[in-house]
Structure 1
Amino acid sequence: MTVTIYHNPACGTSRNALAMIRATGAEPVVVEYLKTPPTRAELLDLVRRMGVPLRDVLRRKGTPYDALGLGDPSLPDDALLDAVEAHPVLINRPMVATPKGVRLCRPSEAVLDLLDSPLPADFTKEDGERVPARRA
């Protein structure tokens, strides 16, 4: 199974999702999207596969979202995509894509629903929270 994670190594949720993927035995394709952002077409495909509006994958906290006026619901997707191209930090993370689907994995354990292999043992997140093992 090919697993791709759109990852920000500065984000604890993203680091936890990546660690959970690896704990199941999978080695994902890691796309550090701040260094290598997805193209407009790739981002639109991910959003389409998630079945959510583009706006739902935009991050507000710690980004220029408000300063750019992106909260205006009348803005078309092309304007949102222009903003994302100029500021990839607007992409929320981590997004994970597998043959089972695409999901914004917040909380990080949401990634487990996209994987073939279960989490083999209790997993402890960076903050000390335990995620129980999940069996297939």
Structure 2
Amino acid sequence: MHYVLIPGAACTSWHWHPVTDELRRRGHTVTPVDLPCDDPTAGLEQYVDTVVGAVPHGEEVVLAAHSLGGFTGVMACERLPVREFVLVAAMVPAPGERISELTQERLGFRPDEMAGAHFPMLGHSVALVEYLLS
């Protein structure tokens, strides 16, 4: 199976490295995507294009999205043959919701209030891989 891993805001594919290493060790194809976060003109369309462009045409994937990558992942699911969509501490937009509308009140917490909990792929990579493979 091919696993495509979408990082959250201000993250890179590096944040997925423990999961990437474990999935590859178990014989799977893994593509941790680097989104164009350094391009201030890039928006969700460019993020989704980057994810879709990382997948060979027509290949079925398991798509995993972290944090704000949930917004990108939802849109990527419309353009890719996704076997399963996994949200990892991800934000899921309400119908019609814009990223700019996300607030602490909507989320119920600030990510920095939960030390280490926002990056489960760094501290609990084997458990996350077990879940992805189940």
TM-score scaled by length of structure 2: 0.37
Q: By percentage of residues, which structure has more helix?
A: 2
Structure index of larger Rg: 1
TM-score scaled by length of structure 1: 0.37
